[in-house]
Amino acid sequence: MAEIAEKLSIRCWLCGKPVEIKFSAKEKPYLVCDTRSGGCGMQTFLREPKAIQLLQNRVKGDMQCE
Ligand SMILES: [Zn+2]
């Protein structure tokens, strides 16, 4: 998990706003699209290793694009 422990963001799959990646007490990542910064309130919780790996791949891809 160290690779994505930094403050990273990804685009909301629903509204397209940047979404900060947070971590639960069990160090599982989750996404919250913050309504205070214009987001839609979407929440996604990633618990499976496959989902976490896909998230890591997605974060790398976003950084290459921008
Ligand atoms: Zn959103």
Question: Model pTM?
Answer: 0.70
In 3D, which of 65, 54, 64 has the Cα closest to residue 21?
54
Ligand 1 center to 25 CA (angstroms): 23
The CA 15 to ligand 1 mean position distance, Å, reads 4
The number of angstroms, rounded, from the C-alpha of 60 to the middle of its chain's C-alpha atoms is 12
**37: CA distance to ligand 1 center in Å?**
10
- The answer to whether 52 touches 8, Cβ cutoff 8 Å, is no
Residue 24 burial (CB < 10 Å; 0-12/13-18/19+)?
A: exposed
For the chain, state the CA radius of gyration: 11
In a structure prediction context, what are the per-residue pLDDT tens digits for the chain, which is 66 residues long?
Answer: 445 445 667 889 899 998 988 999 998 999 999 999 899 999 999 999 999 999 988 887 655 554
The pLDDT value given to residue 47: 94
